[in-house]
Amino acid sequence: MKNLIFFSVVVFSFFLVACGAKTREERIVETVQKIHNDPEWMKDVVIKAAERNLPIDTQVLRNAEWQIDVEDGLHK
């Protein structure tokens, strides 16, 4: 049964790629670029990074991951 589930996931993943669906990683990279190109978003990221004592790039990545999770319905 485990092998069938794994196989189904693999086949579905290939189907999504074949249909032009983007991977999570591709979506994160695009969102990181959007953040860097949006002065207001970057301003918020810089503030959060300072408050959390994190490098700006780390906070950008965290914001991008959060945004993708929101789009996927993982956060409300």
**pTM for the whole structure:** 0.71
Strand, coil or helix: 55: coil
The token pair that represents 26 in the structure block:
């591709």
**pLDDT tens digits for the chain (76 residues)?**
656 675 565 566 666 566 668 899 999 999 999 999 999 999 999 999 999 999 999 999 999 999 999 999 987 6
φ, ψ at 8 (rounded to 5°)? -60, -40
- Residue 74 CA to residue 28 CA, distance in Å, equals 15
Q: For residues 34 and 60, is the Cβ–Cβ distance under 8 A? A: no
Q: For residues 49 and 55, is the Cβ–Cβ distance under 8 A? A: yes
- Residue 43 CA to residue 35 CA, distance in Å, equals 10
Predicted confidence at residue 11, as pLDDT, reads 61
